[in-house]
Copies of this chain bind each other. A is one copy, B any other.
Amino acid sequence: MNPDQLRSLIADVAAGTTSPDAALRRLTHFPGEALPFAHLDHHRMLRQGQPEVVFCEGKTVDHVLAVCTRLFEANGSFFGTRAAPEHAEVLRLRFPRLEYNALGRTVHLRLDPAPPPSGRGTILVVTAGTSDLPVSEEACATADALGNRVARLPDVGVAGIHRVLGSQEELRQAAVVIVVAGMEGALPSVVGGLVAAPVIAVPTSVGYGASFGGLAALLGMLNSCAAGVTVVNIDNGFGAAAAASRINQAWEEGGE
């Protein structure tokens, strides 16, 4: 049942050409049909306040261009992750204002004029090692695209614990902390013990041998002895930022 059909049905009831019982029968049987596919994106925007994000990996340049163009036409902006340089090049020809985060592999076309960042505070992205930076940058670019203030704290691995401690001021000022780490994945436990804000841990596939593609870091974070740490998938900087944005922006939406 598409919206027009629904509208007709209700109009028919109002007009008396369909009995309430007949209308009831149709509506009871197909509860989901009231939401037609074609209106989905609008509904999602209303439901979650977040536009669709384009996952570019494995998509052709033409496909990505088509999807982004359609999103631009609907929303005046778009955001994509796992974008290769080729994706960015072709998009920039069509959208000269495009921003490409080469390390984080994201493409972003902001609204024009761009609204100021919103949300209660700053999302701080803490990174253990330089090899983890691509994941961190994906998180930073995503959090930025979703309208948040973002700060970075790079290169604070636990084997040099003094670096973490020397950054306590910045850690405490964040509304949400994202911690990105590979290898043993111990950093979120340390950070989680230092701050009161929510901490989202992102294991990375950085490492070799018994890191098993990020499994060691993932398990380490899931077993964190610091209460209040939650975890996302390996290398999922995007997901961490989406969660952080939900936390940071809930307050923009007004009370319940």
List A residues at the B interface (Cβ < 8 Å): 3, 6-7, 10-11, 13-14, 16, 19-20, 23-24, 27-28, 30-37, 39-40, 43-44, 47-50, 53, 55, 58-59, 120-122, 128-131, 157-169, 173, 175, 183-186, 189-190, 192-200, 203, 205, 207-236, 238-240, 242-243, 245-247, 250-251, 253, 255-256
Residues of B within 8 A of A247 (CB): 198, 247
Given contact pairs A31-B31, A175-B250, A208-B234, enumerate 7 new A-B contacts (beta carbons under 8 Å).
A27-B27, A47-B194, A184-B220, A185-B223, A209-B213, A209-B214, A247-B247
- For the residues of A in contact with B, the DSSP-based class is helix
With A32-B31, A161-B165: A223-B207 Cβ-Cβ less than 8 Å:
yes
Of the candidates B32, B183, B240, the one whose C-beta lies within 8 Å of that of A224 is B183
Q: How many copies make up the complex?
A: 8
A130 vs chain B, min Cβ distance (A): 8
Nearest B-chain residue to A33, judged by Cβ: B166
With A20-B11, A20-B14, A33-B168: A233-B223 Cβ-Cβ less than 8 Å:
yes
In the complex, the answer to whether B35 meets A10 with C-beta atoms within 8 Å is no
Of the candidates B50, B160, B243, the one whose C-beta lies within 8 Å of that of A44 is B160
In the complex, the answer to whether A209 meets B234 with C-beta atoms within 8 Å is yes
Residues of B within 8 A of A128 (CB): 225
A149 vs chain B, min Cβ distance (A): 11
Of the candidates B3, B20, B31, B205, the one whose C-beta lies within 8 Å of that of A162 is B31
Residues of B within 8 A of A28 (CB): 3, 6, 34-35, 39, 43
Nearest B-chain residue to A221, judged by Cβ: B184
Q: How far is the CA of A51 from the CA of B193 in the complex (A)?
A: 12
In the complex, the answer to whether B158 meets A225 with C-beta atoms within 8 Å is yes
Nearest B-chain residue to A249, judged by Cβ: B196
A135 vs chain B, min Cβ distance (A): 10
A249 vs chain B, min Cβ distance (A): 8
In the complex, the answer to whether A31 meets B184 with C-beta atoms within 8 Å is no
A186 vs chain B, min Cβ distance (A): 3
Residues of B within 8 A of A250 (CB): 120, 175, 196-198
Nearest B-chain residue to A196, judged by Cβ: B48
Q: How far is the CA of A176 from the CA of B163 in the complex (A)?
A: 25
Q: Name the residue among A160, A183, A229, A235 with the largest chain B CB count within 10 angstroms.
A: A160
